[in-house]
Amino acid sequence: MEQSNAVLSALGDAGKRLTVARRAVAEAIAEQAGHFTAEDVLAVSRRRRRAVARATVFRSLDLLVDLGLVERVDLPSGDHAYVACEPDAHHHHVVCSACGRSVEVGELGLRPILERIEFSTGFAIDSHRLELFGLCPECRMAAAAKPSA
């Protein structure tokens, strides 16, 4: 909910209109636990209120990505997903490969590594992506409790 409010005000700040469709997308995203796909958003929007058109879902998602409120993640499976996230702070996501829940982590000392890479390769690195996959605490316990299968 507050997530969706953040979206609304961010839209305002960016001089974008506060339309019904965008509100619907924002709400749909707010109710996602972990990462989600465009289809998920579409499905939620169809279930509640008036459905948002497929094209519009993609347009809004792109917009939110531009605003830094949502980020694209490429799952190991090759699927494209999105995660809601805090704007204005460079960070990365740790995604649970069992349930999809995701948490943000900061830069945690990556900077020196990047510098070392720039030095050794001669590249001027201007962006990077670090995606971490594993089991979240809950799924870890679940896995430990039922080791078979």
Partner DNA sequence: AAGCTAGTTGAGACTGGCTCGCAACTAGGC
Partner DNA sequence: GCCTAGTTGCGAGCCAGTCTCAACTAGCTT
Residues 81, 75 contacting (CB under 8 angstroms):
yes
Is 80 a residue that touches DNA (CB under 7 A)?
yes
In the bound state with DNA, the residue whose beta carbon lies nearer, of 74 and 107, is 74
Among 33, 46, 48, 53, binds DNA (CB under 7 A): 53
Of 17, 120, 145, 149, the one binding a second copy by CB under 8 A: 120
Cα-only R_g, the chain: 18
Residues 119, 99 contacting (CB under 8 angstroms) = no
How far is CA 58 from its chain centroid?
14
Q: Of a second copy, Zn ion, DNA, none, which one does residue 132 interact with (CB within 5 to 8 Å by kind)?
A: a second copy
CA distance 87 to 140: 29
Stretch near a second copy under the rule CB under 8 A, chosen from 4-12, 18-26, 29-37, 129-137? 129-137
> In this structure, which amino acid lies at residue 29?
I
Which residue, 20 or 125, is less far from a second copy as judged by CB?
Answer: 125
Region for residue 17 given its phi and psi (left: phi exceeds 0; alpha: psi -120 to 50; beta: otherwise) = beta
**Interaction of residue 20 with DNA, rule CB under 7 A:** yes
Site for a second copy in 20-59 (CB under 8 A): none
